Structure 1
């Protein structure tokens, strides 16, 4: 199978009758129970739910990190259940940007080299990768911190570096797992505004797991995961 995705203009992601289970000792845990979920190009979607509800499992499937044990899962029209591990890894690198609560920056690298890192896995020349990384740092307002290491940056600045790293490869889909959980309310709102601006200006599809109801209300779609099932509330966008 080719590492390139087959073109499909309709949907970015489609899950139909998807279930996921984990074995813990002698017990079997049902994380997702026969769910249907679709994601269109350009959507903004907040995922909410209690700890252990299944929202992280849903995010992992959307991130091509897990395959469901049952059901159909397609990314841009491509069957992720049948795809090879190499294909999934290549699609993640080329089409999906991940942002985490803990930032996951490499402490010995500068902000610039942290942002350029995903391009190294694509065999982009170092000079070109650093030029693209600098442009992305400028887009998130941190060009003047390019040579700073993570320890020399504030929490909000580190999260902006993480966002720049996620975006440097121009992904179709941005997945953010509690990206504002370690930030104060002011920084959290600034990060959310940055996300939404990227969605408006670049058309990036945005999915964010959050416990913050105020942040979730700013998204076009709000999906609640409870006991392995998915429920969507519509028509609630805050202005």
Structure 2
């Protein structure tokens, strides 16, 4: 693809050490396009397809920065008569849903979880897991981001300079959707259909009634689990 993968524009630096920055409009369209792609896989294909490895590296961008889901090496087919599939394969650290880490059969909600993590990265330009962080509070970005969102400080999680004042309501909506997607309980997470509607503004997302401490308490477990997970 002409513009490579999403991670190269979110996290990489050019030869001068200055980070390449996507503006908010492009980021939002990439997020929405990816959500629509996952919706197609989960609800519109003959058999439900669980991608199992949703992350910026697997989102390719064409000349117009339109996103294309790539790398279906871990994908699982889920017949319409079944609700779960057992898998022993591992996805990528930082994007694995709690039920998958626990070894339970998975549902399309694992892709919802991974999308939520990626959406936070799209908004912030930061990796959700930073194994090199010296400050433990910075190791697991979603916990800090959740605290900011609950306290009404959404602007604090946005990468500097990408959003203007007119974009802030859209940023807020996307941030809340991300939190809904990374709920620990898969039953509470929205479907991809609901995610698309919320991003489009057709449904108003509500800040989830989860405790920030739940995310924070899981940091130690994720430090061990994510460090040992294979890409």
> When you count strand as a share of all residues, which structure comes out higher?
1
Query: Taking CA–CA contacts closer than 8 Å with sequence separation of 6 or more, which of the two structures ends up with the larger relative contact order?
Result: 1
Is TM more than 0.5 here?
Answer: no
> With structure 2 as the length reference, what TM-score do the two structures score?
0.29
> With structure 1 as the length reference, what TM-score do the two structures score?
0.29
